[in-house]
Structure 1
Amino acid sequence: MNLTLWIAAGLLAAVALLGGITKTFVPKEELAAHNGGEWTGQAGVGFVKTLGILELLAAVGLILPAALGIAPVMVPVTAVCWVLLMVGAMITHGRLGQFKLVMLNSVYLALAAFVAWGRFSLEPFTG
């Protein structure tokens, strides 16, 4: 189970890293021109960049605390935060009729819920 939880956290961290880099460093107008990024056309630059930074922090929070043995409880806490972020993403994409993206976000939400449950209950980090 430990390996499965590490893999799930690693996949989520990769998704968060990619999304965070994109939202933080790609101009909003360019994001809005791509499939799935249409919502950024109606959002402020600061909001988009803030989400990007939160995603970068999530990428770090899903891996480094446990890997370094410093406050490993932050891994499931970060996973819970990712669940909340995905709820917002699902609402946003649902309002735009992007149901394939809603389904993708629901997969990310399920992975994050699995990591949170697993690290809080099944295989918590000890030490």
Structure 2
Amino acid sequence: MNIALWTVTALLSAAYLGGGVAILALPKERFRAVHPNWHYVDEFSPWFLKVLGVIKLLAVAGLLLPPAFDVAPTLVPLAAGGLVLLMTGAVTVRIVREEWSIALGDLLFLGMAAFVAWGRLGPEPLGGWTCG
């Protein structure tokens, strides 16, 4: 179980690190040109997209830094829970925009984040901390 949790955490971290850096580094128009299927950027202002990028990078930090430094292990399930909330919003936007195939991908990321949150709260907590 621990190996599965670490694998999913690594995949989530890589995806959100790339997404966060892309949103922060590229202006809205350039981001849209690089990612033509990601129409959601049309719905939001540039400052909101920058905040979204920061949130993604903070989630990556919350997933990786606590176990790396053996500090505040409760941040891992909280960061994963934050990603669940973020992806709930993403799926909602995709459904409203009727982007069904992309919504399925977002649901996959939502499920992965939920798995990490559940796994680190229950069966495989970090640092001996458990919710139950």
Map 1:13-52 → 2, pairs under 5 A = 13-33=13-33, 34-52=35-53
Structure 1: gaps spanning 5 or more residues:
none
Percent identity, aligned pairs only, is: 39
**Which residue of the partner structure matches residue 61 of structure 1?**
62
Give, in angstroms, the shift of residue 71 of structure 1.
0.5
Give the CA RMSD over aligned residues. Answer: 1.2
Q: Deviations over 1:53-76 (max 9, x none)?
A: 100111111111112101111010
Partner AA of 1:17 in structure 2 = L
In 2: Cα distance, 1:35 partner to 1:84 partner = 25
Matched, 1:5 2:5: yes
Paired residue secondary structure (1:124): coil
Give, in angstroms, the shift of residue 126 of structure 1.
1.9
Contact 2:84 2:110 in 1 (8 A): yes
Q: Deviations over 1:24-82 (max 9, x none)?
A: 11110122333332221231111000000100111111111112101111010000000
Q: Deviations over 1:59-117 (max 9, x none)?
A: 11111111210111101000000000000111111111211110001000111110000
Runs of 4+ in 1 over 2 A off after TM superposition: 31-37
Map 1:90-105 → 2, pairs under 5 A = 90-105=91-106
Relative to structure 1, the CA distance from residue 89 to residue 36 in structure 2 (aligned partners, 3 Å threshold; closer, same or farther) is farther
Structure 2: gaps spanning 5 or more residues:
none
Contact 2:70 2:127 in 1 (8 A): no
Q: What is the total number of aligned residue pairs between the two structures?
A: 127
The range that moved more, 78-87 or 21-30, is 21-30
